[in-house]
Chains A and B, each alone.
Chain A
């Protein structure tokens, strides 16, 4: 495990100097700061819009960093042949994969945390500058309430899953294909609960539906990353917290999903030739 951590440290050091990371993070900050512009067109809803766009930007651009930096990660090692000098040392292949994953996850989480800090500071400034609530209006949800932090924490665990998927696709396909697959998984993952609903609807009931469609959709639902589960931005925007039980279950799911993806990646990489 010590060697995996050495690889992780090195991956982190390499990734934080990657221009793509700086570019995506800067764009993310730009978009979340643009919340105010959109807020102008929705009178009285500035804070809510800033909060909504901010939380969405942190999640989306975090995932994009995992995608852009992560999908070329293993292929760059193979194409650049840096992998030869690493695997020619007493390094097991699983240590290499876990090291790359941890290094990339560290990079993605720090970039996401950076964007989250910018968002919170910006939200704080907007809240301080906002005029008081009109007489008779219902109390607005607190700008820095627990729901906002819950949403940011789950965005972090969304990165845990997305980074694992980026490393998996990067180790089995070309950089372009792995970027396409990772992006597809990200988009599909946002609609996981809809797929689950479709699977239920496809189940044979009263002469309609088919087992094949039901089973197929159910398998897709179970294999795809349920990023829908991580998305509590709507309720956070409106100031509603989710229960502690749901938070724990969601976090356990994210860790377990990433663990399974990494186990599959290590198994696939174990038999791979490095010609």
Chain B
């Protein structure tokens, strides 16, 4: 049993009788392993939030199916052990943070004195204990985001679904959320989160899924998505200049001199081999030769462009989302 499983998930929005139907999700097949941190990335309108809403039963799929912790996503029982943080969460303005958390805890089946104790514990954990008795209507965006996280974990869920958890947070807030996600993962909680902040995804996730135009265009461990692509080789040397490289110098880019030391890039390993031979032949000293890999951001950008061109993506991992 996978904590999250979708099969051929398709959602078509129809906003009016005469409006053209909009394909928001196009046959998305994906599964998440127990205990992993899965990052779901994609441009605005790619289908991230629609996927999350469909998983939570907020949107009915036009075709396909999805399950949470082995139960159909349409069954409210499936959501008993789910913690959900929506993008830019909103709360009842007249309630204070403690009342808000008590409400959500009771909806999740918690009852009795344990609720108050758990609310205080979670408020402390997300750094809102100082504002526990303040009306939520007076909260800043960052405080609401923290309260959103608090309500998502108040009932100790087995699966946390977080839509843009770092959104609206300052650097300290982002650091706290990263620590919280890692803490949840260490505690055995499966975390599925969408984000625009790719450095966070790269740092936190065991696996990543890239969605574009409603399709899952790549999925797999971050290392697998980025490693196969060596976009250039950076060479540092001394005792030579660009003209000493001869033919190998034709493909040089990012050339810079810093006193004796020369640094430049060549596009691939063959060019690097030629350049290294030329340096040694001219009596230069080769200091380092480092392959420059694609960052997740570059992989992401490439996949977005490829997807909008309608060309099959060439990335590591598995576009069915099943690679583990």
A interface residues, Cβ below 8 angstroms from B: 3, 6-7, 10, 13-14, 17-18, 80-82, 84-92, 271, 273-275
Q: Could you mark each residue 303-317 of chain B with 1 if its beta carbon is under 8 Å from any beta carbon of chain A, else 0?
A: 000000000000000
Contact A7 B107 (CB under 8 A): yes
Contact B53 A3 (CB under 8 A): no
Given A80-B90, A91-B79, 7 other A-B residues pairs in contact with their CB atoms under 8 A? A81-B86, A82-B91, A84-B53, A84-B84, A85-B86, A89-B108, A90-B76
Contact B109 A85 (CB under 8 A): no
A residues less than 8 Å from B148 (CB atoms): 85
Q: Could you mark each residue 131-164 of chain B with 1 if its beta carbon is under 8 Å from any beta carbon of chain A, else 0?
A: 0000000000000000010010000000001000
Contact A275 B59 (CB under 8 A): yes
Contact A82 B92 (CB under 8 A): yes
Q: B103 contacts the other chain (Cβ, under 8 Å)?
A: yes
A135 to B86, CA, bound (A): 75
B residues less than 8 Å from A275 (CB atoms): 13, 53, 59
Q: B80 contacts the other chain (Cβ, under 8 Å)?
A: yes
Specify which of A6, A85, A87, A92 lies most central, judged by the most chain B CB atoms within 10 Å of its CB: A85
Contact of B94 among A14, A84, A91 (CB under 8 A): A14
Q: B58 contacts the other chain (Cβ, under 8 Å)?
A: yes
Q: B235 contacts the other chain (Cβ, under 8 Å)?
A: no
Q: Could you mark each residue 28-59 of chain B with 1 if its beta carbon is under 8 Å from any beta carbon of chain A, else 0?
A: 00000000000000000000000001001111
Q: B283 contacts the other chain (Cβ, under 8 Å)?
A: no
Q: B1 contacts the other chain (Cβ, under 8 Å)?
A: no
Known contacts A85-B151, A86-B107; decide if A274 and B86 are in contact (CB<8 Å).
no
Contact B92 A10 (CB under 8 A): yes
> What is the chain B residue whose CB lies nearest that of A82?
B90
B residues less than 8 Å from A82 (CB atoms): 90-92
A residues less than 8 Å from B88 (CB atoms): 81
A87 to B104, CA, bound (A): 11
B contact residues, range: 20 to 34
The 9 closest A-B CB pairs, nearest first, are A88-B84, A274-B58, A17-B94, A89-B107, A90-B80, A84-B86, A6-B106, A90-B76, A88-B56
B residues less than 8 Å from A88 (CB atoms): 56, 58, 79, 82, 84, 86, 161
A42 to B66, CA, bound (A): 71
Contact A90 B77 (CB under 8 A): yes
Contact A87 B57 (CB under 8 A): yes
Contact of A90 among B86, B89, B109 (CB under 8 A): B109
- What are 5 A-B pairs at a CB distance below 8 A? A10-B95, A80-B90, A84-B84, A85-B148, A91-B76
Contact B89 A85 (CB under 8 A): yes
Return A271 CB to nearest CB of chain B, in Å.
7
Contact B103 A10 (CB under 8 A): yes
Known contacts A10-B92, A85-B84, A91-B76; decide if A271 and B60 are in contact (CB<8 Å).
yes
B residues less than 8 Å from A10 (CB atoms): 92, 95, 103
> What is the chain B residue whose CB lies nearest that of A10?
B103
Contact of A91 among B53, B107, B161 (CB under 8 A): B107
A86 to B92, CA, bound (A): 11
A216 to B107, CA, bound (A): 44
A81 to B91, CA, bound (A): 8
Q: Could you mark each residue 67-109 of chain B with 1 if its beta carbon is under 8 Å from any beta carbon of chain A, else 0?
A: 0000000001111101010101111101100010001101111
Return A88 CB to nearest CB of chain B, in Å.
4
A residues less than 8 Å from B109 (CB atoms): 90
A residues less than 8 Å from B53 (CB atoms): 84, 274-275
A residues less than 8 Å from B94 (CB atoms): 13-14, 17-18
